[in-house]
Amino acid sequence: HLVEARRKRADLLGEMAEALGLANVQAHGERAEEAGRGVLRDSADLVIARAVAPLPVLLEYTAPLAATGGTIAAVKGSRGEAELAEAGTALATLNCEHTGTEQMRSEVASQMRVMRFQKLGATPARYPRRPGMPAKRPIAAS
């Protein structure tokens, strides 16, 4: 499943998957906060997220999508380690733990890293909060 907030992009991703013969790929045109409350909740063995928000916010977007025992891979920039230091409350609240960080080796992505997290248990029912709230009031700042 691919989740993209913009419907046009989601449609394009769906068309690309179809053109590539990827029959098991579905693109969903909805915000992650909405997807995490629907049929995709607790369904993914692996959730990959690009660097769209600070880590506590990104974890609130992704943890509800991951199955218990699943992996969240968050692509982060040069502030990744600083964001990790600020994400302790979010990690505990969302039942996740940091399991490692890999530095990207390509010249193009030399400042990027992939931070891995494991979902240890169910995400509390109140998460994700309604669209906009994770960014407005991150768990770490609650």
pLDDT in tens, 115-132: 999 999 999 999 999 999
DSSP string, 23-92: TT--EEES-HHHHTTTTTTT-EEEEEE-S-S-HHHHHHHHGGGEEEEEEEEEEE-TTHHHHHHT-HHHHH
When pLDDT is cut at 50, 70 and 90, the band that residue 141 belongs to is low
Name, in order, each residue with C-beta under 8 angstroms of 64's C-beta and a sequence gap of 6 or more. 36, 37, 41, 42, 123, 127, 128
Q: Average the pLDDT over 1-25 and give the result.
A: 88
Question: In the prediction, which pLDDT does 57 show?
Answer: 96
Could you tell me the pLDDT band of residue 113, with boundaries at 50, 70 and 90?
very high
Distance CA 98, CA 27 (A): 28
Residue at token pair 């029912």:
125
Strand partners, 44: 66
Residues of the chain within CATH 3.40.50.150 domain(s) are 42-141
Does 114 have pLDDT greater than 70?
yes
| CA-to-CA dists, residue 24 to 11, 82, 142, angstroms | 15, 37, 38
- 42-141 — its CATH code? 3.40.50.150
**Token code pair at residue 136:** 């407005």
pLDDT over 60 at 98, yes or no: yes
pLDDT at 142 over 70: no
Query: Minimum mean pLDDT among 3-17, 79-93, 120-134: which range?
Result: 3-17
